[in-house]
Amino acid sequence: MAYITDLPPEILELIGNRLDKCALLNVLRTCHLFHRNFSSDLVWKEVTAQAATAVAAGDGDSLIDIGTLHTHTRKVQALKLCGPLPADYFGLSFPNLTTLQLQDIAVNNSPTERDREQESKWARVIRLNPTICDIAIYLRHRASGQSTEIWDAILEFLHRPRQLKVGGSSSMPKFTVQVQKSFWRAVSRFEELDYNGPVDQLRIDPHKWANLTGLQRLSYKSTIPSTYLHIKLFEYCRGLKRLRWSRDAGVFPVKELLQCLMRSDWPHLDDLALDRVYQSDIEFAPVMYRLPPLKHLRLDAALFGPQCFNHLKVRQFATLQTLDLIRCENFTSQMALEVLQGCPHLEVFMGRQIAMSDLISMLRRPWVCSGLKRLGVQFENDLGPLGTATDANKVVLERLSRLTSLEEMDMVLNGARGLVRSNVRACRWRLDAGLQQLATLTRLRIARFDFSVTHMRTEDVQWMVNHWPSLEVLQGYFSLDLEIQQQANALLNERGIRRH
């Protein structure tokens, strides 16, 4: 009988290249033969070096040996350095390194000599690795970020920087003026900035110190409500294609944003996400009217209503590929149906709910979004338990059966997760209600059901597993009957399908 240990080294290497990193690491610990022949590049493609303080804080495993790391520097493409590591870890050159993450751990309130040495180490690893394209810097320490060394190194040494992520604590003091100047000069070299921290750190006018027209993608989340400073920054980024703006608090500056749109400050913008918009439908409608044609729109506007929707329909339906309005509480069932009937290029749609009565009344118009890959709405039975409701249930499933590109189906109403809402009658996902029509969804990977969907039988779950060959996740309470729920869980475990 032949064993795996009898296979030639080249075959073992091919096997190793097909394992994920977790499985490969377990194999390497098995024996010397596997450790020698399963030395796939995957093990060293992404490396994390964590200081002892980081391990104590629960952020990772034990510290990787510096000698071993030095031996494999050519294989490392992504590197994470966490905490106050010895200087040797920052003195290595990785010829193929493209991604670097730097993270501090300390919690002191004032800069110390050790803090300044840490930032010098960070600058050193940047200078030694000019191939870095994507860099993430997380400043948990209140005393961090008070040196220009890091930003100067980025500005002077990186060949083709692409993405910069900067995260910090809301309690951090603001950067000094000199650090802010250095920061903006470094940002000017990137295509994408993802900033998450207090805007008070960045109070100077960046336009005086850097040209930000090359910035194409900006994600900006501030922990301090200084919306005027946000808008001033956005004005200078005239090459923006994507803007994602989130605030913890503060009044949304509709007037200032409208002025930017009227001036066409962002002629290339096609991806927009706005958070915490509390203005009325009438107040926010001019912004919706002035938006350029978008491919992707995500909006958290509690009072989004008919005026905003009419502008959305007229100006955006022809181009939208992603529409996420799940946090718009006034986004109605009829509006959701109009989206499905009017957006031919839609691939992702996250709404709220669709009432079966509206579906029946608007049945003559077909859904035109045949390329839809992700759908997030709840179909609500507002017609009663019998008669017309049964026919409407079959209509729902028949409409879904035409979405043959669907990969993710989320039937959980926003805010309902974790609650069994017995007062809501949901769509019935059963064979005797037309479930077999969904045999066309062969690409479906993820299906999530509302907690009001508690009427399935074991054969219904069995049918889903058998007819959705790509299924990876099936989430929800299938039945209030404990025995049926246990049988369904056992069936999913047997097929390797996750519940979450």
105 has a pLDDT exceeding 70: no
| Cα–Cα nearest to 449, from 388, 407, 384, 500 | 500
Is 5 contained in some domain?
Answer: yes
487 has a pLDDT exceeding 50: yes
Range of the domain at 10: 1-40
Percentage of the chain beyond pLDDT 90 is: 50
Is 422 contained in some domain?
Answer: yes
Mean pLDDT along residues 255-274: 92
> Angle 290-291-295 (CA atoms, 0-180°, nearest 5)?
160
387 has a pLDDT exceeding 70: no
258 has a pLDDT exceeding 80: yes
Round to whole Å and give the CA distance between 227 and 229. 5
Is 151 contained in some domain?
Answer: no
Global confidence as pTM: 0.85
pLDDT for the residue 223: 64
Is 158 contained in some domain?
Answer: no
416 has a pLDDT exceeding 60: no
Is 360 contained in some domain?
Answer: yes
How many domains are there within the chain?
Answer: 2
CATH number at residue 339: 3.80.10
What are the structure tokens assigned to 238, written together? 């005239």
Mean pLDDT along residues 396-414: 90
152 has a pLDDT exceeding 90: yes
348 has a pLDDT exceeding 90: yes
> Which pLDDT tens digit goes with each residue over 163-202?
999 987 655 556 778 888 899 999 999 999 999 876 555 5
pLDDT for the residue 422: 44
- Band of the pLDDT at 9, cuts 50, 70, 90? confident
112 has a pLDDT exceeding 60: no
Mean pLDDT is highest, among 9-23, 338-352, 420-434, 476-490, for: 338-352
Asked whether 191 and 215 are in contact (CB, 8 A), the reply is yes
pLDDT for the residue 396: 92
pLDDT for the residue 53: 46
> Which pLDDT tens digit goes with each residue over 197-224?
765 555 667 777 889 999 999 998 876 6
pLDDT for the residue 452: 64
Percentage of the chain beyond pLDDT 70 is: 83
Is 272 contained in some domain?
Answer: no
String of b and e for 303-317 (b: at least 16 CB within 10 Å)? bbbebbbebbbebbb
Could you tell me which residue, 82 or 59, shows the higher pLDDT? 82
- Band of the pLDDT at 231, cuts 50, 70, 90? confident
Torsion angle of alpha carbons 65, 70, 75, 80, nearest 10°? 60
Mean residue pLDDT of the chain comes to 84
Is 308 contained in some domain?
Answer: no
Is 195 contained in some domain?
Answer: no
* Mutual angle of helices 482-495 and 458-467, in 10-degree steps: 20
pLDDT for the residue 225: 58
- Please name the helix (run of DSSP H) or strand (run of DSSP E) that holds residue 276, with its range, or none: strand 271-277
Q: What share of the chain is helix, strand, coil (3-state, %, to 5)?
A: 40, 20, 45
Could you tell me which residue, 183 or 387, shows the higher pLDDT? 183
